[in-house]
Amino acid sequence: MLVRPRRRPPGVGDRRRQGGSKTWGTGAYLIKQRISRADEGGVRTRFPTTRSRRLILAAIAWSVLLLAASTFAIAMAVPSAPACTPPVVRGASASSLASIGIERPCLPEVDEVTSTSHEDRRLGRIVTSLARRRAKVYCYSSADWNGAPGSLGPWRAFTRYATKPKPTLVLMSPEICTELTTLAESHTRVWRDEWPDALARSVGSLAHEAAHVSGIRDEAKADCYGLQWIVRAARMLGRTHAEGAYLATIYLKHWRPWLRPPYVSRECRSGGKLDLYPQSLRWP
């Protein structure tokens, strides 16, 4: 039994009318095919011609070439990280907040922390006060942090929820804990510190995790609330309101412009839906 060959599809650009009837040409894109009889039963098989094989190989070659070109273009478009040097020390006037521009943050290279991992009760009290929920904060040593399940690398922190009545746990990398200790124990004003970006990142991370402890799971909302809690967190670490406002502005201008979803929201602004103090003219 012979199998009827399928009807050939119409050729693009090859359609023409003759006497009101439609006729179809072979079409420029159609591939000529040979039909050969495979067995006595009449089953027909089709083989591409030499021309069709050449067209297929040419298409594959162009696809590989375009893919390589696009990959090279993407790789070249990624700028290399600039050398990290300490920023210029600013004056002590609170009016210097307006002079802080948008720029990329700079972090120091922190030596390995060899002290044992421990609970920091001072940080735990701060998180509990901000979140209004009981929490414990643990500062990790370098060795323990690198091997901790769920750790995200240096300069990171994360919250581990617990069922009541157990407290929620906030786990912090040694770099962040080192900077928070500096904030609590150093007598140097934050605008005279060699690495204000590191201080702002650390207190911002503490406030961010406090927002998570309060029950906020959304990252954009937690970071926006954390931004607005930086002043309070800095005050509880022994700093003045002006120093807290300075760190909040550094976090706003040096860290938040480079955040990506899911950590950003258009409502995180003065007067936006995530503004905790809409009656205040100050932001954050």
pLDDT tens digits, one per residue of 52-70: 677 777 777 666 555 444 3
Residue 128, both tokens: 């509990």
Residue 84 in tokens: 């990290």
Coil/strand/helix, residue 143: helix
Residues 207-216 have pLDDT tens digits of 999 999 999 9
User: In the block, which residue shows the tokens 């040419």?
Assistant: 58
What is the per-residue pLDDT across 82-99, written as a single tens digit (0 to 9) for each? 446 655 555 545 457 888
Question: Of the ranges 19-28, 96-105, 154-163, which one carries the lowest mean pLDDT score?
Answer: 19-28
Tens digits of residue pLDDT in 32-42: 444 344 444 44
81-95 exposure pattern, b = at least 16 Cβ within 10 A, e = fewer: eeeeeebeebeeeee
Q: Assess whether pLDDT exceeds 90 at residue 138.
A: yes
Q: What is the reported pTM?
A: 0.69
258 band by pLDDT with thresholds 50, 70 and 90:
very high
Structural domain boundaries of the chain? 113-258
Contacts of residue 245, defined as CB under 8 A and 6 or more positions apart, other chains included, come to: 94, 97, 231, 282
